[in-house]
Amino acid sequence: MIMTREPDGPFLPGAVVSGSSRGIGAAIAQRLAAAGYGVCINWVSREGRAREVAGAIEAAGGRALVVRADVGDPAQARRLVEETASAFGGLRIVVNNAGFSQHTTLEEMTTEDWNRAIAVNLSAAMLATQAALPFLKEQPWGRVVNICSLRAMTGSDHGAHYAAAKSGLIGLTRSLALELAPSITVNAVSPGYTRTDMNAAALAAREAEIAAKIPARRIAEPDEIAALVAFLASEDAGYLTGQTINVNGGLFMQ
């Protein structure tokens, strides 16, 4: 576990983790809380799960704030960031993890489907980071980590809107890394198959088949993705920016 404070030392500023009521987002929130950050647990439709994550953090001696916000909406994204900074005396980390995945072909896809995928998977990262900038600039250093996807690299025959949005997230990551250097780094993490609710149906139907195609021969656990995010969010990662790091057990190598 990456620690950035002594066990009895001072707490660190705030960290926003969008879409953190479950899966990878929840694991990231718990990692950052263990490192001393006050963490905002963000949810849209799973309040019970969000409060469970916050309860686990607080039971371990950490600090958590639970905020309902649709980060694809500019006003709600701004409120999420501002409430986090206010609650924890500042903001140092933004993890753009919220995602919307939908299996649909181009023939079946509606304009609303497309717009929702772009809003949640791409625009939300821009909106949250933009809202966070004044607070990040108040810190000696800041971190933005965008959660991408294997589909940004491979494409998808059942979710072109999702793959397109996640591909756009890579371009956003590189652009913001150039713009916000040197004190604020911006990186992306691109997970492969991970044991989350989003992949539950596929894994239930054909986990053995999927695992057989992965050189590591297994599905990732959320905490394995969170471990990398915690490093990228740490002071030690100050010379790493503009990168998209693939965590997929070797299924795709760039």
- Cβ pair 4, 178 in contact under 8 A: no
Confidence (pLDDT) at 230: 98
Q: Determine the Cα–Cα distance for residues 23 and 194; give it in Å rounded to an integer.
A: 9
Tens-digit pLDDT profile for residues 8-25 = 456 899 999 999 999 999
**Amino acid at site 20:** S
- Of the candidate ranges 94-103, 137-146, 173-182, 242-251, the one whose mean pLDDT is the lowest: 94-103
- Which of the residues 37, 162, 193, 239 is marked catalytic? 162
DSSP label at residue 235: G
Q: Which two tokens stand for residue 178?
A: 């150039």
Tell me if residue 71 falls in helix, strand or coil: coil
Segment 196-201 shows an average pLDDT of 80
Grade residue 200 by pLDDT with cuts at 50, 70 and 90.
confident
Confidence (pLDDT) at 3: 36
Q: Which two tokens stand for residue 194?
A: 């991970």
Q: Determine the Cα–Cα distance for residues 184 and 176; give it in Å rounded to an integer.
A: 9
Confidence (pLDDT) at 189: 98
37 is catalytic: no
Segment 165-170 shows an average pLDDT of 96
Q: Following DSSP, what letter does each residue of 105-145 receive, concatenated?
A: -TTT--HHHHHHHHIIIIIHHHHHHHHHHHHHTTSSSEEEE
Grade residue 157 by pLDDT with cuts at 50, 70 and 90.
confident
DSSP label at residue 72: T
Confidence (pLDDT) at 36: 96
Give residue 238's region: left, alpha or beta (phi > 0; psi -120 to 50). Answer: alpha
Which of 142, 227, 226 lies closest to 185 in space, CA to CA? 142
**Amino acid at site 200:** A
C-alpha of 172 from chain center: 14
Confidence (pLDDT) at 254: 63
- Cβ pair 163, 222 in contact under 8 A: no
Q: What CATH superfamily classification does 12-247 receive?
A: NAD(P)-binding Rossmann-like Domain (3.40.50.720)
**pLDDT over 70 for what percent of the chain?**
96
Q: Determine the Cα–Cα distance for residues 44 and 98; give it in Å rounded to an integer.
A: 10
Tell me if residue 184 falls in helix, strand or coil: strand
- Has this prediction a pTM greater than 0.85? yes
How far CA 11 is from CA of 34, 153, 227, 235, in Å, comes to 10, 38, 20, 15
Segment 221-229 shows an average pLDDT of 97
